[in-house]
Amino acid sequence: MTSEYRHTPVLLAECLEQLELKTQHTFLDCTLGFAGHSFEAAKRLGPEGLLLGIDQDEVALAAAAERLASIPEGERPAVELLRGNFGDMDELLVAARVPGVDAILFDLGVSSVQIDTASRGFSFKENGPLDMRMDPGTQTLTAAEIVNTYNAADLTRIIRGFSDEKWASRIADFIVRAREQAPIESSEALVDVIKAAIPASARRAGGHPAKRTFQALRIEVNSELTVLRRGLDAAVRWLNPGGRLAVISYHSLEDRIVKDTFASLANRCTCPPDLPVCMCGREPVLDIITRKPVLPSPEEVARNPRARSAKLRVARKR
Q: Which residues carry a binding-site annotation for S-adenosyl-L-methionine?
A: 35-37, 55, 86, 107, 114
Q: Which residues pair with 317 in a beta bridge?
A: 286
CA atoms of 138 and 160, how far apart (whole Å): 27
Give strand ranges (E) for 99-238: 101-107
Going by the annotation, the residues of the binding site are 35-37, 55, 86, 107, 114
Contacts of 295 (CB under 8 A, 6+ apart): 310, 311, 312
Render the burial of 288-301: b for 16+ CB within 10 Å, e for the rest: bbbeebbbbeeebb
Closest CA to 219 of 206, 211, 293: 211
The string of DSSP letters for 198-237 reads S-HHHHTSSS-TTHHHHHHHHHHHHTHHHHHHHHHHHHHH
For strands 101-107 and 26-29, give the pairing.
parallel
CA angle 219, 112, 50 (to 5 degrees): 90
For strands 101-107 and 239-249, give the pairing.
parallel
